[in-house]
Chain A
Amino acid sequence: GENVEQHPSTLSVQEGDSAVIKCTYSDSASNYFPWYKQELGKRPQLIIDIRSNVGEKKDQRIAVTLNKTAKHFSLHITETQPEDSAVYFCAASLPFGGATNKLIFGTGTLLAVQP
């Protein structure tokens, strides 16, 4: 069935370093790839997303890259700060019916930024 694999499950970096989280998806019909950040005790919130018609998108310190051929996409965080510490989830869309999409989520990456 549809599957999204996410690695690593935990990531510890020093403040100021870069962090990279990688995901792979299985269904070639997927065309939307969001990344959600969930701080401790809070709801997941969208931080960046990319559609299959582009290969890269950047928003300040975060960027996402997509390789459709390999079915890979990655989240890049530069100049990490302690407030970046959270669980990050990737997801891939799957069409359902004519105009509905559901999301398949990865298992999450716990990012710890050490001051």
Chain B
Amino acid sequence: DVKVTQSSRYLVKRTGEKVFLECVQDMDHENMFWYRQDPGLGLRLIYFSYDVKMKEKGDIPEGYSVSREKKERFSLILESASTNQTSMYLCASSFGGTSYEQYFGPGTRLTVT
């Protein structure tokens, strides 16, 4: 059974703080993704990675960076948190190749005050 875990379910940070969101998957997936979920806007892709140390910008990368030093772990970094980054953040992973199904983590609800 695929398991994708995220480091926190709820997080409260102050404006200007550096924030790290961690995601770990245990199925040796090649691809990992970070999404932001806001009401009425669906799931928007922030960044994704198709291999260790490889990263690609998604649709809304501004204000975010990522790190993938190990295959199983993909981190999302908010360099200087702002209130408009208050949101639900979802991590996902997939095998790659012709297997496109993405498996999601439970999400981290981040509040920036």
A residues lining the B interface (CB < 8 Å): 1, 6, 9, 32, 34, 36, 42-46, 49, 89, 91, 93, 96-97, 99-108
Closest residue on chain A to residue B94 by CB atoms: A101
- CB–CB B106/A42 < 8 A: yes
- CB–CB B42/A96 < 8 A: no
Closest residue on chain B to residue A109 by CB atoms: B42
- Total B residues in contact with A, Cβ cutoff 8 Å: 26
- CB–CB B100/A32 < 8 A: yes
- CB–CB A43/B48 < 8 A: no
Knowing A100-B31, A100-B96, say if A46 contacts B101 (CB, 8 Å).
yes
- CB–CB A44/B40 < 8 A: no
Closest residue on chain B to residue A46 by CB atoms: B101
- CB–CB A102/B90 < 8 A: no
Knowing A42-B106, A43-B107, say if A103 contacts B42 (CB, 8 Å).
no
- CB–CB A43/B45 < 8 A: no
B28 contacts which chain A residues (CB < 8 A)?
A: none
